[in-house]
Amino acid sequence: MTETVKSQYDMRDPRTQYPQPPFPKQPQDKPGFDHKMEPKADHGENSYQGFGRLKDRKALITGGDSGIGRAIAIAYAREGAEICINYLPEEKEDADWVCDLLEGEGHAVHRMPGNLTDKEFCNTLIKEAHERMGGLDILVNNAGVSWRPLRPVSDATLSDWKFMIDVNLWGVINGLDVFLPRMSKQQGEKHVVNTSSLAGLWPVKGHTPYSATKAAVTAISEGLASDLAEEGFGVTILHPAMVRTNVVANSEAMRSDVDKGEGRTFRSMVDERMEKLAAAYIDAEAVGEMVRDAIERNQLYLHTHPIEAQDIRSRTELIYGADTYGRA
């Protein structure tokens, strides 16, 4: 059972702050909605309190209807930003819910349904976002899909790979391609947030196509941070670990060609590292606050779990400790 809090600053008992596994099975038909999750996920709807720290900023959030994107949208709007929320048309039910909530509080919110894998739509999106808000200085590339059921890469089809690459990689590339040129012309501070994953830094067993796309997002973001610093851009790479969202239900539901059988069980595929993370689930509301703070600090790497940093250090030690150089 989770606690009821008045704001994100209330003292909370870590033992009851977030629901913990095992969670009930909850497969959803297309497209998979946040409000159908059990137990209900917390995105900050009743707890996030803003203080105007993003006053007059203008932000576009892809995948802003649910999960981490919804938490970011709530945090940014309550901190004073004018926001555009992009979402798939079939996810209108979730999008309307969060937009109605924020508009009811008096925040400026724009609804922009469409698929980021469609380059023509991306061109329309940038035009409409600028027309409605009069500019854009924060871009959050958050839309993405997961890989379920977990299974070895030898079981992955070309269709699996294409699905992952189209959404997780080309969605980000298309967004950057159409938004960066316009943002570069604007004066003042600008910021890009790209959602990668822990799997993008340390590939997860049974998750290879997903890990590959997220590793690419991380590499692109690191390049952006270097290339765009002189143009006034800050870049944040979000590496979530175990955040309880509807992304799994969404990812399975979006596929028309996937076998929705059980496949290998989660427990049979994860290693010790994932076992530790599975015991440390958080809700998206915590991530929304983290991403808002990252902009203020111009933080490049943002990890949702302390154990992530430990894993990354361990991987680095393995790389540098290995005998990787040829011998004469």
* Active site members: 210
Q: How many CB atoms lie within 10 A of CB 291?
A: 24
CA dihedral (144, 148, 152, 156) in degrees, to 10, reads -70
Please report where in the chains the tokens 């969670």 appear, as a residue.
Answer: 23
Q: How many CB atoms lie within 10 A of CB 265?
A: 10
Among candidate residues 215, 198, 206, the one with its CA nearest the CA of residue 270: 206
Alpha helices (H) in 83-207, listed in sequence order: 92-104, 119-133, 158-164, 171-185
Among candidate residues 184, 155, 146, the one with its CA nearest the CA of residue 68: 146
Q: What is the DSSP string of 268-323?
A: HH--HHHHHHHT--EEHHHHHHHHHHHHHHT-SEEESSHHHHHHHHHHHHHHHHS-
CB 258 within 8 A of CB 252: yes
